[in-house]
Amino acid sequence: MLERHLQVLKMVIENEPIGIVKMSNETGYPHHKVRYSLRVLEEENLIEPSSQGAITTERTAEFVDELDEKLDDIVGKLDEMKIDDAVEVES
């Protein structure tokens, strides 16, 4: 579900204004799932409705920057947790 919300947000960022029908056609998600994602994103003040479709808000860019930083941190921590390929595990 989170992946769908982020995919919908990305579509709004890249194609604003954009409507439910176009998002549904391009993602393959049913209209009701796109509508739900839009509602969640609107509740978080990341998008807002307009007469032409969903558009971003002032908060969107800040959220994306913070999300990217957090994901980079998580990836870094996961990389640190990897066991080196050179170490052989004894059976």
pLDDT score recorded for residue 84:
73
Task: Note whether 53 and 34 are within 8 A (CB).
Answer: no
pLDDT score recorded for residue 85:
59
Count of CA atoms in the C-beta half-sphere (13 A) of 16: 16
pLDDT score recorded for residue 83:
81
For 53, phi then psi, to 5°, come to 140, -175
Question: Whole-angstrom Cα distance, residue 4 to residue 6?
Answer: 5
Q: What is the mean pLDDT of each run of 10 residues along the chain (91 residues)?
A: 93 96 94 96 96 95 91 91 68 56
pTM metric for this prediction:
0.78
pLDDT score recorded for residue 87:
59
